Amino acid sequence: MAEHKLFKILLGQGPRPSFKWMLFSWIGGFLGIFLIEQIGRFADLGDRASLFLIGSFGASAVLVYGAPQVPFSQPRNLIGGHCLSALIGVTVFLLLGDQGILSCPLAVALSIFAMQLTGTVHPPGGATALIAVIGGSAIHKLGYWYVLCPVGVGACIMVVVAMVVNNLSGEKARKYPHSQN
């Protein structure tokens, strides 16, 4: 009997969003990532076009298109959290290199602290800082340009898509940016 209850808990019992909600989340996620990828191709960076698609943008897409009403999804958090974390990640890498024993945890921990200090907490920002340290030579060669492009440009694209898609849904709960009043 206890196994049955645990199984139900693991499967989730909460309410599911409406089909319309899920459809607009899908549209936003698709368009946001698609446009970031296309901007990378348009910039004609050759084999570096894929740098525009950093992994943390996938997590941001879940937040900004799937849960646009939460504080972590708001433009200030999305853009500020990513850019601040990228700046910290690049700085840690430039100072300490990719010594995972210290660089990785320091980049993430400092990003958490800075996002909390500035009121820009965006959980995928921790991954953005980590990518600056472990992203390999293509990311490392960008140096502080990583903060602007791909991070800043990609975050801004996601916000614009969120404003269009979420507001076109007509659902009050999807209004974006969401006022906390």
In a domain, 132, yes or no: yes
The encoded tokens of residue 105 equal: 């945890």
Residue 64 near residue 158 (C-beta atoms within 8 A): yes
Note whether residue 36 is domain-resident.
yes
Domain range for 136: 18-172
User: Per residue in 36-59, pLDDT tens?
Assistant: 999 888 776 555 556 778 999 999
C-alpha separations of 71 from 19, 35, 105 in Å: 23, 24, 25
Decide if 55 is inside a domain. Answer: yes
94-150 tens-digit pLDDT:
999 877 689 999 999 999 999 999 999 999 999 999 999 999 998 999 999 999 989
Residue 10 has pLDDT above 90, yes or no: no
- Does 13 fall in a domain? no
Residue 142 to residues 97, 136, 138: CA-CA distances in angstroms? Answer: 14, 10, 7
Grade residue 11 by pLDDT with cuts at 50, 70 and 90: confident
pLDDT at 179: 77
* Residue 4: inside a domain: no
Decide if 179 is inside a domain.
Answer: no
pLDDT at position 123 = 97
105 lies in some domain: yes
Number of domains in the chain: 1
Give the CA count within 13 Å in the CB-facing half-sphere of 52.
22
pLDDT at 19 over 60: yes
9 domain-assigned: no
